[in-house]
Structure 1
Amino acid sequence: MVALPAMSAEIPVSQAPAQNQASSSSSAETIGQVTSVSQLSDVKPTDWAFAALQSLVERYGCIAGYPNQTYRGNRALTRYEFAAGLNACLDQINQLIATGTADLVNKEDLTTLQRLQEEFTSELQTLRGQVDALEARTATLESQQFSTTTKLRGEAIFALASVFGSDRAINTDAQNRGNNRNELNENAIFADRVRLNFDASFTGKDRLRVRLQARNITSFNTGVTGTNQTRLGFDGNESNNVSVSALFYRFPIGESTIVSLATEGLEYIDEVPALSRNFDSSGSGAVSRFGRYNPIYRAAEGPGIIVSHKFNDALTLTAGYVVPSGVGNDPSNGRGIFNGSYSALGQITFQPISDLSLAFTYINAYYTDGSGVTGGTGTGFANNPFNGARTSVNNYSLTANYRLSPSFTLTAWGGYSNAQAENTAVARNNANIWNWAVQLGFPDLGKEGNFGGLVFGVPPYVADNQFISGNNRRQDDDTSYHLEAFYRYRLNDNIAITPGLITILNPEGNSSNPNIYVGVVRTTFTF
């Protein structure tokens, strides 16, 4: 009996060492099963091995060849290619013996196999070594594979930024009290933000996302400039401690409904139809917090649910309920999912033609500490109109986006918020808060993948407030203006550099404040 090795039925013969190769202009084609060696036109029938292999192939059908009747469609048969065919027959006969059908293999064929093995010993050993190496590499890849259902997507931001000007802003109440203005902290910073998104899918249509985040980008907020109007769109400083910043599951119901359920990091802007495309991304869009998108969508970020239903190609309805991070997981009094701060959204998006989109948005929100009304944008009075009193807010907004050409887009929004104090000490005091902005986008400016953007608008400000506490009115006497320009230059598919300049006129709603400028160079790496 011949000792038959248990080998793979298919050997990548193109990896075998080439000897006496003849040139061929035909390319490799799809493998098909060949039942006769005489079909392989590049095997010489005068060789004794040909007749031996022909007999084995015709009895056991064990060689894979090519439809154009060549054993290897792009070159002549070599000893290594022949050995690969022999190895296939060895596998076939070995399988017959292993499955208890050895009576189908006669003694003469075993003798022929033994002689062929002796003749092609060197070539068979080479092929087996290649197969062993291939199997070892495959085993290594399988052992090191992270997951068969999960993909890793990463983003790293390097930020070089600084504020410019003379003094920090103060609000009108502070000015009326005679407060002095401190100097700006104008030292440049170099900081980072890193995000790792683990996206898993179990049906091919759903997505479970776990986001890990670390960052140390100081916010240019009231502690640095006297106002939140100078904040960057990607700031946040946890000293680069890693945390789960988002955990949500998005899945379809039928063909027209998408549900997003989150225990952390759910944002309205990620789930509503995009109208500020190319501006809204923190890693590749506008460099300021206000300039990225309509601040109505910053009503809350944290655990919650958002449902979006598409009635047809033109009409989409979105509804959501989100509570601030750190509130939904706290069972203490005045917190939790339904007993603390919250926001509830309803939006109708209408797209009558492919280049025009309109959205009407309403959000009802409640803040137990009175802060966060405008999501950290606008003046301090707008963000906290009643000095920490419990506050309910009705927000209304209209947003429009029009693509005039492939190289020019126009987005505009206007928003109004009516805030009411709920504390007994200042019960039913009302404040009216306004904001608006225009975004001009220039896709592929300079070259494909680049983007230029201009933003001009009025960040949220308190136009009227019934709140009175001594000499404090918490009302902005003047209107601040936001002017921003940025240009995203794409070095390659994975690296983009975005320089930007932000100018705030009449900071903190006070025309007596000097203008404040913010310069930034954001480098984004995606992988």
Structure 2
Amino acid sequence: ASFVGRDRLRIRLQARDAVTEFFDGDPGLEFGGRGGGTFTLAKLIYQFPAFNQAATIYTGIVGSGVFDVFNYSTPFEALSDFADAPNSTADVPGGALFGFRYRLSDQLRLAYSYSTRNAQALGKGFGDSGITGSDSAHAVELGFLPNENLEIYLQFASTYLQTANDGPEFLANGTALFRGPLRVTNVSTSAQVNAFSVAANWEITPRVIVSGWFTAGNVDYNLPNVVPAGTVDPGEENFNGFLFGFVFPDLFVEGAKGGVVFGQPIVTTDNDGVWDTRPFVVDVYYSFPVNEYITLTPAAYFVSNPNGGRPGDNDPTIGVGALRAVFTF
């Protein structure tokens, strides 16, 4: 909805009645949370122009995040979530949000976002929930657009993560494998994550587009629940990851689109016997229109060395395939 013609209000009501534990294991299906058939407010975000339309201000109550503010996004229609923007800087904890985009010049764009996961919750003490506590992140992006075919972005995010028990995305002291929004799974651990990314989209020709990113950073763990405090130092670790891919518009058929993505998921660089062999992902897809109402996309992705090649581990390549149908009305 819009109130004055240049603003935008987005509201999403969502209901589900499914055994979500089954779907949570596949990063390409995105059936998160529980519902029981009850409608809930899944997203509410409002944006409006400012400073003679040079800036856009964003405020979100629920379901919003850095991805609503940042300009960079990948052009892929791949099956895996790995083919999205780097989640170390562009998909950090979200829920409630304040941010802005600012057009510095014809070639420069600036974006900033502060997001927090549980802004509406009241915690046991000051600072562990609400808009200044819980999982939260400051993120900034600088975009350089030298011409209409090339976009280059620099991103930085500083993220604070508290204790969580709802996912294997972040394992302290050993494996820092990021699968979706960052969380700490060790019941007594919190962490400060500082990460930067460089990303780009380049339209080489109208039928060949290149996109990719590289990200790196540092995780500083702490044990706030250890008594006496400070007697145990869980340490820190560094991580990196990258993605590189091609999109081919109008491949074979007008309106079709093919794509291939290759990269390394975000893992620790402090091996100590872990991740001796880096995991890699290959994601391929082909989207083609059957008619003006139906588009089919056969797709597959493969993950090599998913356990990092650790000695004694059963570490076979993982393969996932799907056929996606999109109906347009």
SS at match of 1:287: coil
Structure 2 counterpart of 1:431, from 237, 244, 252: 237
SS at match of 2:47: strand
CA distance in 1, matches of 2:33, 2:323: 18
Name the counterpart of 1:390.
190
Structure 2 counterpart of 1:481, from 280, 285, 289: 280
- Whichever residue aligns with residue 495 of structure 1, its letter is I
CA distance in 2, matches of 1:264, 1:371: 21
Name the counterpart of 1:232.
28
| Contact kept in structure 2, 1:234 and 1:287, CA below 8 Å | no
SS at match of 2:67: helix
CA distance 1:343–1:316, shift in 2 (3 Å): same
Alignment pair present for 1:289 and 2:289: no
CA distance 1:316–1:367, shift in 2 (3 Å): same
Name the counterpart of 1:510.
309
CA distance 1:341–1:275, shift in 2 (3 Å): closer
SS at match of 2:176: helix
Structure 2 counterpart of 1:265, from 59, 63, 72: 63
Name the counterpart of 1:247.
44
Name the counterpart of 1:80.
none
Name the counterpart of 2:214.
414
Which has the larger strand fraction? 2
TM-score by length of 1: 0.54
CA distance in 1, matches of 2:68, 2:19: 22
CA distance in 1, matches of 2:154, 2:242: 14
CA distance in 1, matches of 2:78, 2:168: 18
Name the counterpart of 1:212.
13
What is the CA distance between 1:451 and its match in structure 2? 1.3
CA distance in 2, matches of 1:386, 1:375: 7
Aligned pairs for 1:348-363 within 5 A: 348-363=142-157
Aligned pairs for 1:95-174 within 5 A: none
CA distance in 2, matches of 1:462, 1:440: 26
CA distance 1:430–1:348, shift in 2 (3 Å): same
CA distance in 2, matches of 1:269, 1:441: 21
Which has the larger helix fraction? 1
SS at match of 1:507: coil
CA distance in 1, matches of 2:147, 2:104: 15
CA distance 1:264–1:439, shift in 2 (3 Å): same
| Contact kept in structure 1, 2:163 and 2:184, CA below 8 Å | no
**Structure 1 unaligned spans of 5+:** 1-199, 225-229, 280-284, 466-472
Name the counterpart of 2:256.
450
Deviations 1:358-409 (A, max 9, x none): 00000000001168999789x9633467834110000111001111011110
Aligned pair count? 306
CA distance 1:304–1:211, shift in 2 (3 Å): same
CA distance 1:375–1:289, shift in 2 (3 Å): farther
Aligned pairs for 1:63-82 within 5 A: none
CA distance in 2, matches of 1:322, 1:355: 31
Name the counterpart of 1:151.
none
| Contact kept in structure 2, 1:219 and 1:231, CA below 8 Å | no
Structure 1 counterpart of 2:138, from 322, 344, 366: 344
Alignment pair present for 1:524 and 2:326: yes
| Contact kept in structure 2, 1:491 and 1:497, CA below 8 Å | yes
What is the CA distance between 1:510 and its match in structure 2? 2.8
Alignment pair present for 1:331 and 2:129: no
CA distance 1:509–1:293, shift in 2 (3 Å): same
**Structure 2 unaligned spans of 5+:** 224-229
Name the counterpart of 1:298.
91
Greater Cα offset, 424-433 or 263-272: 424-433
CA distance in 2, matches of 1:523, 1:385: 35
What is the CA distance between 1:240 and its match in structure 2? 6.8
| Contact kept in structure 2, 1:275 and 1:411, CA below 8 Å | no
Aligned pairs for 1:80-91 within 5 A: none
CA distance in 1, matches of 2:245, 2:19: 25
SS at match of 1:299: coil
Name the counterpart of 1:496.
295
What is the CA distance between 1:341 and its match in structure 2? 1.4
| Contact kept in structure 2, 1:482 and 1:505, CA below 8 Å | yes
Structure 2 counterpart of 1:463, from 269, 283, 286: 269
SS at match of 1:382: coil
Identical counterparts, % of pairs: 26
CA distance 1:235–1:496, shift in 2 (3 Å): farther
| Contact kept in structure 1, 2:204 and 2:210, CA below 8 Å | yes
| Contact kept in structure 1, 2:20 and 2:34, CA below 8 Å | no
Deviations 1:98-134 (A, max 9, x none): xxxxxxxxxxxxxxxxxxxxxxxxxxxxxxxxxxxxx
- Whichever residue aligns with residue 268 of structure 1, its letter is V
- Whichever residue aligns with residue 267 of structure 2, its letter is Y
- Whichever residue aligns with residue 381 of structure 1, its letter is A
SS at match of 1:404: strand
CA distance in 2, matches of 1:391, 1:434: 17
Aligned pairs for 1:38-49 within 5 A: none
Deviations 1:163-198 (A, max 9, x none): xxxxxxxxxxxxxxxxxxxxxxxxxxxxxxxxxxxx
What is the CA distance between 1:269 and its match in structure 2? 2.2
Greater Cα offset, 382-391 or 202-211: 382-391
SS at match of 1:464: coil
- Whichever residue aligns with residue 305 of structure 1, its letter is F
TM-score by length of 2: 0.84
What is the CA distance between 1:428 and its match in structure 2? 6.3
Deviations 1:217-272 (A, max 9, x none): 85778x85xxxxx5215343636733221101011112210011100111322322
CA distance 1:408–1:252, shift in 2 (3 Å): same
- Whichever residue aligns with residue 271 of structure 1, its letter is V
What is the CA distance between 1:463 and its match in structure 2? 1.5
What is the CA distance between 1:477 and its match in structure 2? 2.9
CA distance in 2, matches of 1:367, 1:321: 14
What is the CA distance between 1:476 and its match in structure 2? 2.7
Q: CA RMSD in A?
A: 2.8
| Contact kept in structure 1, 2:219 and 2:236, CA below 8 Å | yes
What is the CA distance between 1:492 and its match in structure 2? 3.8
| Contact kept in structure 1, 2:161 and 2:184, CA below 8 Å | no
SS at match of 1:337: helix
CA distance 1:516–1:502, shift in 2 (3 Å): same
